[in-house]
Amino acid sequence: MKRLSGLIVAGALAGLVALTWAQNSVSGYWDFHAPRVANNDGTYRETFFELKQDGDKITGRIEPGGSRELPIVDGTLKNGALHFAIVAPRANATPNRTVYEGTQTPDGRFTFASIGMDGNATRGELVRVSQAAALPPPRIPPPALHDVPDNGLARTPPMGWNSWNKFNARITDADVRGIADAMISTGMAKAGYTYVNIDDAWEGQSRDAAGNITTNRKFPDMKALADYVHSKGLKLGIYSSPGPFTCAGYEGSYGHEEQDAKQYAAWGIDYLKYDWCGARNEYKEDEEQAIYQKMGDALLEAGRPIVYSLCQYGHVNVWQWGGKVGGNLWRTTGDINDRWASLDLIGFGRQQTATQLELAPYAKPGHFNDPDMLEIGNGGMTDDEYRLHMSVWALLSAPLVAGNDLRSMSETTKSILLNAEVIAVDQDKAVNPVTAIPQAGASETLLVWAKKLSDGSIAVGLINRGETPSPVSVNWKTLGLTGTKIQVRDLWAHKAVKTSGEGYTETVPRHGIVMLKVSGK
Ligand code: GLA
């Protein structure tokens, strides 16, 4: 008996020790909640870890939700102080090492921070979660392919404004209202700019109990915002991703495509930009068509005309299938930024498998190549570069989506974005492809591009990608014009110019363009 009770006592003690160990062990799944302080929207970014504790040694991995699955290195837990690192390899660069450190609180959580290579810390807390919460959602198989009927929208390239280039994730309801006001007061609306598009970072932390997408505190009432924008005669656009997360780590439409499309329609949304990067972990590139088709179908069924903007940076020759999934426009390049090198690469270089010029024949009424939004007026380029930006986009029949703060535009910025003669080249209903016209004296840096317009005239760009001002010539014969009564209008000088008879030559500024409209036979 004594021996038995001794055993019971020993067993109970062992159980207690095991229990205490289990409580103290950090082995299991954890969620790092990092409030998005800079965005000031009340949401937090989640990063999931699986931790394994062996004495004071910590191993495990970061879960791929939104990021890559990578092992934990240099992990320790000593006297409640947790420390580990994640090393992410980078192509042609030193690996990106992020250090994580935290201190355990009496209730078992950690006050926690990630510290990047620049030394900047993102602070929050590390909380224990279930395995199901930490792992990526189960894969939803892509649907079989079919052709989504044309929605009849965007017969000419969409024109409007988008928040990302200037406001990034800090865009608010008040900003959008201010931009809508400015669209009217500056004359942008009259010039044809119609869509006011909210990019990433409007989404709430999580869906509601019925699975409906929610907004964060920067967008208290999306329906009221849409009503406001509509009251100005403008249209409202929104943004999502086919993945569980958007590019900036907000809630995506994965598994909720129809529900989200209906919600957009109920709010009064007129345009959706649907951005791939959050779907990278779920799907392979060759599944993109099927995944974009899913939202194309959902938008058509939502009961409201919604322009469908595909954003997958020109993967897998999207220009060949973007229209079949119901897309009105598809990005053909990586992200633009407000620098000449970016503009020059997008406009004239090869990204993914093609140049913009090679893709020009794929643009058709209702379906456009999208070399990304405008940076005009954001301050990182010269006025000549911005005039070239506007003109090249017009020659390419590209969407004209301004990306600057319309509430505080300089007169020069206005003169560029509001150049009705260049806008008319962009909006020409024939959507003829621009071509490079071989010329004596033309080169990689000095180019002549031409696009036939529906009135029989030809829009011609004399382009100088070089570092010094240079004369660029166009010979009328190279445009198929043989007559003598050729009229030429300079679309930036806003006046007719005299020609020599054979053609026209003008000195084009460094990183600049001369835009002409040539009429005659
Ligand atoms: C991607 C897109 C950008 C912008 C951001 C938002 O990078 O290409 O245009 O939408 O995501 O997170």
pLDDT tens by residue, 462-516: 999 999 999 999 999 999 999 879 999 999 999 999 987 899 999 999 999 999 9
Residue-averaged pLDDT of the chain: 94
What is the b/e burial string over 90-121, where b = at least 16 CB atoms within 10 angstroms of the residue's CB? eeeeeeeebbbbbebeeeebbebbbbeeeeee
Q: Which helix (H) or strand (E) holds 58?
A: strand 57-62
Q: pLDDT tens-digit profile of 121-173?
A: 999 999 999 999 988 889 999 999 999 999 999 999 999 999 999 999 999 99
- What local confidence, expressed as pLDDT, does residue 136 receive? 83
Ligand 1 nearest atom to the CA of residue 168, by list position: 6
Q: Whose CA is nearest to atom 5 of ligand 1?
A: 247
pLDDT at 24: 65
Question: How many angstroms separate the Cα of 174 from the Cα of each of 35, 178, 483, 492?
Answer: 22, 6, 56, 34
Rounded Cα distance, 329 and 237, in Å: 14
Nearest residue CA, atom 11 of ligand 1? 247
| CA distance linking residue 86 with residue 91, whole number of Å | 16
DSSP, res 144: P
Report CA(240)–ligand 1 centroid distance (Å).
10
- For residue 445, pLDDT beyond 80: yes
pTM for this model (two decimals): 0.92
Q: What angle do CA 80, 86, 87 make, to 5 degrees?
A: 150
**86-95: per-residue pLDDT in tens?**
998 888 899 9
Atom of ligand 1 nearest to the CA of 248: 12
List pLDDT tens digits, range 104-114: 999 999 999 99
Rounded Cα distance, 114 and 110, in Å: 12
The ligand 1 atom at the shortest distance from the C-alpha of residue 239 is: 10
CB-CB contact of 397 with 428 (8 Å): yes
Output the pLDDT for position 5.
Answer: 46
What distances in angstroms separate CA 299 from CA 197, 198, 211, 269, 294, one per listed residue?
A: 17, 17, 18, 11, 9
Nearest to 245 by CA among 287, 297, 285, 206: 206
- pLDDT given for residue 22 in this prediction: 42
Q: What residue owns the CA closest to ligand 1's atom 6?
A: 200
Q: Which of 150, 175, 335, 383 is catalytic?
A: 335
* Per-position DSSP letters for 277-313, written without gaps between them: GGGTTT--GGGHHHHHHHHHHHHHHTTS--EEEEEST
Does residue 426 have an active-site annotation?
no
**pLDDT exceeds cutoff 60 at 11:** no
**Ligand 1 centre and the CA of 199: distance in Å?**
8
Residue 173 appears among annotated catalytic residues: no
Q: Give, for ligand 1, the residue of 247, 330, 338 to mutate: max count of ligand atoms closer than 8 Å to Cβ.
A: 247
Q: Give the H/E segment covering residue 89.
A: strand 81-90
* pLDDT greater than 50 at residue 21: no
Nearest CA to ligand 1 atom 3: 335
Residues with CB under 6 Å of ligand 1 are 164, 199-200, 246-248, 275, 311, 335
- Position of tokens 């395995």? 131
How would residue 18 be classed by pLDDT, with cut points 50, 70 and 90? very low
Grade residue 319 by pLDDT with cuts at 50, 70 and 90: very high
The one catalytic residue in 275, 338, 372, 426 is: 275
pLDDT at 373 over 80: yes
Q: Report the pLDDT value the prediction gives residue 15, as an integer from 0 to 100.
A: 47
pLDDT at 67: 54
Question: Tokens 């026209």 — which residue?
Answer: 504
pLDDT score for 253 = 98
Q: What pLDDT does 495 receive?
A: 98
Q: What is the pLDDT of residue 207?
A: 97
Shortest-distance atom of ligand 1 to CA 199: 10
Q: How far, in Å, is the centroid of ligand 1 from the Cα of 180?
A: 21
Q: How far apart are the first and last CA of the chain?
A: 116
pLDDT of residue 64: 61
The CA distance from 61 to 449, in Å, is 52
23: pLDDT strictly greater than 70: no
> Which residues, other chains included, contact 4 with Cβ-Cβ below 8 Å and sequence gap of 6+?
none
Q: 235-240 and 195-197 as β-strands: parallel, antiparallel, unpaired? A: parallel
